[in-house]
Structures are given as C-alpha cells and as structure tokens.
C-alpha cells in the first residue's frame, strides 16, 4: 500500500512539474506582457502636476461650463475623474491651511498650519505660516524671500516622492504667493518660487532651497515675459455674453485706486504707479498667465518628466483669490478670470503633451478653499446675510471680562475666529480655565451674528464625527489653537462690504473642485463625499509610495485604474 501511494504521488508530480509550471507561466507573460503589468501595484508617470486654484468654488466648473474650451477644465472632467462632492473637513478655510492639507493628507490638527497667520503661544507674537527669519532672500534685496516650510509639522506628498526615489525625483513648486509654493513643495523640494511685485516683477526664492537663482530663472526675469502683461484688461469674450455673472458695475465690488467705477476695461497702464506696479497684476487674470509662463519655463529649465523617475510640478494659481476678494464671486471680473484660466490650463496641458508625452503624466486640480457670495448682495436679494463688527465685539467682550473677572488681561489675542486666553493670569487669579471658557461661551452666544461657540476643552475631550464641530475639531491643534472657537451665522462675515471672503466652516467655504486626469486615472465621477486630505493618499497609492507621515485621509478608490 505504501509503495502504491508513492507511485501515485510520483505520477502527480510528473503530470504537474513545478519547473514546467513556472516555464509555462513565463511563456504566458512573454506572449501577453500587459498581463504581468496588471499585477504591478503602482503607476509610474513621468511627471505629476498638482494644481491648486486659490478660492475656487465648485460651481465655477458648472456655472461657466458653456464658455470653457475643450482643452482645459472640460478636458479634465471628460477625460478624467470628477469628485463632485469634495469638501474641506476643517476650519479655518484659508490659503496656508489649504495648501498644507492638500499636500500632507491631513488637517491643521495634525500638520499645524492653523491659519495664514496665528498667535504663537510660545513667542507671544503673531507668526506667518511660511516666514523664517533664519533664511535669506534669493533673487531680491527685500525680505520677501525669507521663507521656509519649518512650521509644517509633517511630511508632504512631495516629500514622500523624494524619499521614495532616494531624492532622485525633482520637485518644483510655483505660485504668486509664497505660501502657495513653500507648503506644497514640502521640506525637501528642489526649489520653490514666488512672485515679487513692485518695480521689478521678478520670481524669487529662499536660501532654504538655494544660494542663487538658476540660470533659467534669471533668463526669465530678465526677459519681457512679465512686462507684456502691462496692458488693458478687457474681457476675453464680448461682455454681453457674460450672462453667468452680475452687472459690470455694482456696489459689491471694490475700486482699484484711480478708477471711478469697477468696470471693463481696466486700464492697467494708467493705474500702474498707484497700485504697486507689477503687484497690480495679482488682481488680474494676467497673474495666472504669468504663473503658467513660469511653470512652463520650469518644465523645460529643470527637464521635468524626461526620464523614468517621476518628477513633481506643484502650481498654485493665486490671482483667482485676489480677484474674488476684490470684485466678488458674482462679478464679471471673476468670470473673465476663469475663462482666461481655462486657456492657461489648455496651454499647460498642450505643453505637457509635447514635452512629457500624452498619457505619460498625471494631474490633479483642486482649491485651497472656496468663498461666500458678497453678503451685501445676498441681503439685497432678501437672503439672510450680514456683517460682524470686530471692533464692537472687542469692546463688548472686554467689558464683560472686566465686570465678571475684574480684568481685561485674560484675553491675549483674537485671530482666526479664536480667542486666546492668558493661562498665567488665570492661575494667579485662581480661576478655572474650564469655567472661564464656559462662561465666555455663554456670553458670546448672546452676541448678534454669532451662531455657535465651542471651547478648547470641548475640542480636546470630545470626539465629533459630523457637522460644524467635526470641522472645527479637525482644524484644532492642541498646541497652537485658542481657548474659544467662534462660528458666525451663515453668510455673515467680518469683512468689507465689497468683495468676497472665506475662512468659515460653512459649506460655501468648504465645497471645492477635485479633478484627476492622466496616467493611471479611471475616467468617471462620484457624488460620494470626498475630503481634501484624501488627495495625498490617492496620489501616493497611485505612485506606490508611502503616505505622508501625518495622513488622516484615505485613497479615493474610484479614481484609480
């Protein structure tokens, strides 16, 4: 019986030899090389391009859709993947936190960029999210280049790409705003560049990245690439066709110094000297065109996407934010800015097709925050909206503190809709921090314009999973945030009566576009809720690299092939 079993076993091995099985599988793969490629758990585009459009609401995609060409926004939507219910899951919704969250895959609670500026409890002073006094400017004699990402506590998608490739990947970040370049570039970027206005209109950098500007940057700065935009700003298409926005002359728009009405055309040459010279270009769509010009120069100057090691180009379009703040989200100016941006995107994609190769690069496009419609306009349309007087608020809360606690010294700072208390003074007065926070919250809820109030204690000891408190908690950093968090009523802002703003946890500030297209992207769309911290892990999963080390988002599986 034992011999019989051995013979059977021997026959089975002869019928299915291990060596022959491997040989057969090898032949199959040789005949169908794509079969083996399907098992590779990553995609290797030659270049990833991350685009952040400052202050872009999701409905700008749909509102101006009929005016867009086929090669910009429409190309991304039709050929790529559209996340139609994408949101910021934290507040404040502003530029610094927005760019940091897109690239770190987490929120201010973890990455630490809690605002563009904030009160620093350690130094007892206001700090800027990208400032670094230990650095020197490169390309300018001013302090505009003294920047670095040192206040960002975690790695970025771009950092992880550099680490994964043993620093062989190139990462270049470009934006008009310094924070729009510094934060996306991460801690290991080869370079980050931003624009300095004034009389020169040059692109500059920081000693954090380099000792001197590369030759291609100097060539760009010495050319007339920027000077060509010193021209009248007229509408791209006939003004009468801009029916997706309000009248050209409204009381909801600010005036450029020297203009008597906020109407087209805007004669930039006559307004030049009174408005910061080249700095004036920031509040026009030409600022985005300058950014595109420089990004294309970087593409060639740095030989991005020219080998099998994936490079990264981070581009932030800042002029959309300046125009929105100045003229409002319903203005003719904002419509023209987006139609021109659409052309800039088409120009960028065509260059990528040519220089890198169609189908050889991957792009994502999102925003750093959205924006509210001008409250004065909403109010005139009989929609609840209003303005919150910061000066009246300060006077009233200080009076309360003096009457209730005998001193106004308990409040050290108010910023980003947060109140910072002096814990040392409270300790000397033998006051309970929790009690002071709770009593102040009850008082603040009586004030007109304030919708709800939360305390630092609530943020630290509760766990919220939905709604406004969830959004506030994701933006609350235990070491850096304040003692009291205030939320104004919907469409109520502390801002001028002209132009739009942002920063709140309300849905008009959180709903932003998220588009993917290119190599490794599955065409389609979803109305499932996605969140800004999902972007970095999605691209990381595509590339097969480690997630940024503070990641709290999750890959959007529908996006990936």
Domains of the chain: 47-88+101-106+144-374 (3.40.720.10), 389-448+450-488 (3.30.1360.150)
Within a 10 A sphere around the Cβ of 343, how many other Cβ atoms?
18
d(CA 330, CA 324): 9
Q: Are strands 492-493 and 386-387 parallel, antiparallel or unpaired?
A: parallel
What tens digit of pLDDT does each residue of 503-521 get?
A: 999 999 999 999 999 999 9
What tokens does 503 get?
């920063």
Among candidate residues 95, 106, 337, 538, the one labeled active-site is: 95
Q: What is the pLDDT of residue 561?
A: 82
Residue 12: pLDDT band (50, 70, 90) is very low
Q: What is the pLDDT of residue 1?
A: 44
Contact criterion met (CB below 8 Å) for 127 and 151: yes
Give the helix ranges, DSSP H, for 383-497: 390-405, 423-428, 433-444, 456-461, 467-474
Instruction: Flag whether pLDDT at 164 surpasses 60.
Output: yes
Report the percentage of the chain scoring pLDDT > 90.
93
Report the percentage of the chain scoring pLDDT > 70.
93
- Please compute the mean of the pLDDT values over residues 75-96 and round it to a whole number: 98
CA angle at 85 for the pair 81 and 90, rounded to the nearest 5° = 120
Contact criterion met (CB below 8 Å) for 225 and 158: no
Q: What is the pLDDT of residue 21?
A: 34
Is residue 95 among the annotated active site residues? yes
What tens digit of pLDDT does each residue of 320-370 get?
A: 999 999 999 999 999 999 999 999 999 999 999 999 999 999 999 999 999
d(CA 275, CA 257): 7
CA angle at 512 for the pair 509 and 513, rounded to the nearest 5° = 170
d(CA 14, CA 33): 29
What tens digit of pLDDT does each residue of 26-78 get?
A: 343 444 545 555 689 999 999 999 999 999 999 999 999 999 999 999 999 99
What tens digit of pLDDT does each residue of 270-316 get?
A: 999 999 999 999 999 999 999 999 999 999 999 999 999 999 999 99
Task: Please name every residue paired with 526 in a beta bridge, in sequence order, or none if there are none.
Answer: 83
What tens digit of pLDDT does each residue of 172-183 get?
A: 999 999 999 999
What tens digit of pLDDT does each residue of 122-136 get?
A: 999 999 999 999 999
What tokens does 48 get?
């990833």
What tens digit of pLDDT does each residue of 493-504 get?
A: 999 999 999 999
Mean of all residue pLDDT scores within the chain: 94
Q: What is the pLDDT of residue 38?
A: 61
What tens digit of pLDDT does each residue of 226-268 get?
A: 999 999 999 999 999 999 999 999 999 999 999 999 999 999 9
Give one DSSP letter per residue of 171-218, joined into a string: EEEEESSHHHHHHHH-SS-SEEEEEE-BTT-EEEEETTT-SS--HHHH
What tokens does 479 get?
């070491």
- Please compute the mean of the pLDDT values over residues 410-423 and round it to a whole number: 96
Residues in the chain, total: 561
SS3 of the chain: helix, strand, coil, percent, to 5: 40, 15, 40
CB half-sphere exposure, 271, CA atoms < 13 A: 23
CB half-sphere exposure, 46, CA atoms < 13 A: 17
> How much is the pTM?
0.93
Q: What is the pLDDT of residue 221?
A: 98
d(CA 303, CA 28): 38
- Cis amide bond preceding 92, omega within 30: yes
SS3 category, 437: helix
Q: What is the pLDDT of residue 32?
A: 54
């Amino acid at each position: 019986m034992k011999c019989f079993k051995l013979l059977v076993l021997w026959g089975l091995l002869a019928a299915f030899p291990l060596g022959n099985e491997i040989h057969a599988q090898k032949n199959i793969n040789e005949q169908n090389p794509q079969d083996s490629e399907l098992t590779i758990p990553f995609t290797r585009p030659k270049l990833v391009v991350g685009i952040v459009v400052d202050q872009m609401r999701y409905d700008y995609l749909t509102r101006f859709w009929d005016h867009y060409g086929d090669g910009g926004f429409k190309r991304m939507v039709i050929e790529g993947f559209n996340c139609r219910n994408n949101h910021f899951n934290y507040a404040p919704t502003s530029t610094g936190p927005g760019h940091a969250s897109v690239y770190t895959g987490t929120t201010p609670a973890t990455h630490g960029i809690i605002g563009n500026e904030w009160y620093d409890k350690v130094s007892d002073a206001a700090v800027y999210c990208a400032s670094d006094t230990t650095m020197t400017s490169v390309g300018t004699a001013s302090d505009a280049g003294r920047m670095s990402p040192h206040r960002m506590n975690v790695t970025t998608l771009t950092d992880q790409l550099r680490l994964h490739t043993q620093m062989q990947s190139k990462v270049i970040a470009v934006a008009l705003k310094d924070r729009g370049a510094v934060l996306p570039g991460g801690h290991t970027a080869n370079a980050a560049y931003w624009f300095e206005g004034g009389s020169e209109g040059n692109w500059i950098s920081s000693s954090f990245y380099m000792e001197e500007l590369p030759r291609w940057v100097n060539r760009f700065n010495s050319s007339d690439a920027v000077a060509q935009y010193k021209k009248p700003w007229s509408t791209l298409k006939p003004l009468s066709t801009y029916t997706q926005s309000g009248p050209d002359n409204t009381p909801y728009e600010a005036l450029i110094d020297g203009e008597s009405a906020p109407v087209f055309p805007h004669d930039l040459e006559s307004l030049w000297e009174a408005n910061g010279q080249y700095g004036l270009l920031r509040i026009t769509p030409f600022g985005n065109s300058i950014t595109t010009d420089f990004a294309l120069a970087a593409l060639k100057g740095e030989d991005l996407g020219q080998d099998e090691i994936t490079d990264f180009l981070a581009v932030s379009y800042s002029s959309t934010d300046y125009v929105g703040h100045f003229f409002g989200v319903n203005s003719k100016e904002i419509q023209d800015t987006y139609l021109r941006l659409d052309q800039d995107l088409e120009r960028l994609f065509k260059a990528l097709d040519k220089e890198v190769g169609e189908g050889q690069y991957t792009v994502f496009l999102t925003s750093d925050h959205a924006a509210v419609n001008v409250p004065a306009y909403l109010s005139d349309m009989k929609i609840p909206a209003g303005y919150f007087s910061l000066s009246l608020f300060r006077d009233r809360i200080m009076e309360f503190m003096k009457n209730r606690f005998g001193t106004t010294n308990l409040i050290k700072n108010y910023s980003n809709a947060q109140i910072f208390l002096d814990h040392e003074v409270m300790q000397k007065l033998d006051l309970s921090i929790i009690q002071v926070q709770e009593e102040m919250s009850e008082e603040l809820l009586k004030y007109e314009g304030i919708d709800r109030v939360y305390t630092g204690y609530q943020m630290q000891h509760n766990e919220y999973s939905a709604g406004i408190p969830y959004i506030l908690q994701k933006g609350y950093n235990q070491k850096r945030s304040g003692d009291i968090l205030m939320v104004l009523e919907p469409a109520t802002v502390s801002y001028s009566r002209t132009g739009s703003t942002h920063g709140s946890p309300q849905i008009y500030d959180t709903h932003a576009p998220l588009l993917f297209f290119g190599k490794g992207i599955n065409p389609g769309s979803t109305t499932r809720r996605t969140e800004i911290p999902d972007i970095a892990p999605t691209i990381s999963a595509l590339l097969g690299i480690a997630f940024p080390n503070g990641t709290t988002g999750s890959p959007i599986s529908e996006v990936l092939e």
